[in-house]
Amino acid sequence: MTPHRIAICPGSFDPITLGHEDIIRRSFRFADQVIVAVAFSATQVKSGMFSVEDRVQMIRETFADEPRVEAVAFQGLLVNFAQERGASMIVRGLRAVSDFEYEFQMALMNRRLWDGMETVFLAPDLDHSYLSSSLVRQIASLGGDASPFVSAAVLARLQARFGA
């Protein structure tokens, strides 16, 4: 019997974009379950556009059709959270070379903290290679059409926040 492979896809997801969704759905090529983990800290200086609870709910709505996705908030070390949840791999998307240096450093540190942790890097779909949550927030806040970049559930929340 093949072991149950659990991956964690961590991030702030403020908000979750179609690029995030693509990476998460493609993770099922090598994982049986994906935990989308919204990172936060009680002492975090930077507050997001959406509350952590709203982000978790948007992820749940975006993946309502996919029972293998679980959305949760977490704080603390990612490797500790992964061990608690039985996950042994982290999935990260790399949009550009500029993402690589930071992500590579984090992957090495996570392996140093727990040698049972592997990090898998996925290149984005070409249609999403430029996409980021901050660009989506900016487009929506300036009255632009964010519909090509987010799910219907996320778009509804952006429209409620900024009017449309």
| Feature table: binding site | 12-13, 20, 78, 92-95, 103, 128-134
Mean pLDDT of 76-91: 96
CA distance 79 to 88: 9
**Mean predicted lDDT score pLDDT of the chain:** 92
pLDDT at 6: 98
Q: Name which of 88, 84, 68 is nearest 3 in CA terms.
A: 88
CA distance 95 to 143: 25
Q: How confident is the model at residue 1 (pLDDT cuts 50, 70, 90)?
A: low
pLDDT at 23: 97
| Feature table: binding site for ATP | 12-13, 20, 93-95, 103, 128-134
CA distance 4 to 88: 10
pTM above 0.75, yes or no: yes
Query: Looking at the annotation, which residues are catalytic?
Result: 20, 46, 95, 133
pLDDT at 97: 80
pLDDT at 164: 58
Other C-beta atoms lying within 10 Å of the C-beta of residue 102 = 11
Dump pLDDT digits (tens) for 111-162. 999 999 999 999 989 888 889 999 999 999 999 999 999 999 999 999 999 8
Chain centroid offset of residue 12 CA: 6
Mean pLDDT of 46-74: 94
Q: How confident is the model at residue 163 (pLDDT cuts 50, 70, 90)?
A: confident
> Distances from the Cα of 73 to the Cαs of 27, 95, 108, 155, in angstroms?
19, 24, 23, 21
Other C-beta atoms lying within 10 Å of the C-beta of residue 13 = 24
Mean pLDDT of 39-65: 87
Look at residue 44 and tell me whether its pLDDT is greater than 90: no
Among the residue ranges 41-45, 95-99, 117-121, 147-151, the one predicted with the least confidence is: 41-45
In the CATH scheme, what is the homologous superfamily, with its name and number, of domain 6-129?
HUPs (3.40.50.620)
pLDDT at 2: 61
